[in-house]
Amino acid sequence: MDITIRPVEPAEHALLGEITAEAYLGDGLLDYGADDPYLVRLRDVPRRAAEAGVLVAADARGRVLGGVTYAPPGNPWADIAAPDEAEFRMLAVSREARGAGAGEALVRACVERARDTAGVTGIVLSTQPSMHAAHRIYERLGFVRTPERDWNPIDDLKLLTYRLELRPTP
């Protein structure tokens, strides 16, 4: 599939919010289902786009297949990044587009952004233990588990962490 990665356009905010919410709901990743308060953050693409960077994967016809939030160093959307690290989160691909390379293309775009940022030595992410397909992408691209950084944003939700070394720490 021919996939283009680009910044989200304002007219696509609602669509990407629904793709992201449906990915998390459909995969059973929200403890409270359709009543989970995290859905508000997943759907709030306008805020993420204004405060961080939101990228979309689009097919040859321009249809949005999925998206990701990229947080450069020091960005308030970063949960675990050190001052010399970038972070990405809320990676989601529509059910119809899964397996076609959109998720990997989005991760690669985040890695390239991090590589192009002076002083960034690595890129990190948090993931749920059940996100096996995503883990395969991360590991294929060279990300390494960092269990010492695993964390619990809320009770009973442990997030696993990964890091990709981009350049040695000065």
- 13-18 average pLDDT score: 98
Judge contact between 67 and 54, C-beta under 8 A: yes
The DSSP string of the chain is ---EEEEPPGGGHHHHHHHHHHHHHHTT--TTGGG-THHHHHH-HHHHHHHSEEEEEE-TT--EEEEEEEE-TT-TT-SS--TTEEEEEEEEE-GGGTTTTHHHHHHHHHHHHHHTSTT--EEEEEE-TT-HHHHHHHHHTT-EE-GGG-EEEETTEEEEEEEEE-S---
Question: Token pair of 141, please?
Answer: 């691209």
Tracing tokens 């010399």 back to the chain, one arrives at 84
* pLDDT for the residue numbered 154: 85
* Least confident among 3-7, 103-107, 128-132: 128-132
pTM equals 0.94
**pLDDT band at 168; cut points 50, 70, 90:** low
pLDDT digits (tens, 9 = 90+) for 70-84: 999 999 999 999 999
162, β-bridge pairs: 125, 145
What is the C-alpha separation between 170 and 154, in angstroms, rounded? 34
Separation of alpha carbons 102 and 107, rounded Å: 9
Task: Please report the pLDDT score of residue 156 as a whole number.
Answer: 84
State the average pLDDT over residues 104-112: 98
The yes-or-no verdict on residue 157 having pLDDT over 80 is yes
Residue 8, φ and ψ in degrees, nearest 5: -65, 145
What is the C-alpha to C-alpha distance for residues 66 and 93, in angstroms, rounded to an integer?
4
pLDDT of 149: 98
Taking the C-alpha atoms of residue 26 and residue 33, their distance in angstroms, rounded to an integer, is 9
- Give pLDDT tens digits for 112-145: 999 999 999 999 999 999 999 999 999 999 999 9
Provide the pLDDT for residue 109: 98
Residue type, 62: G
Task: Give the domains, in start order, of the chain with CATH numbers.
Answer: 4-165 (3.40.630.30)
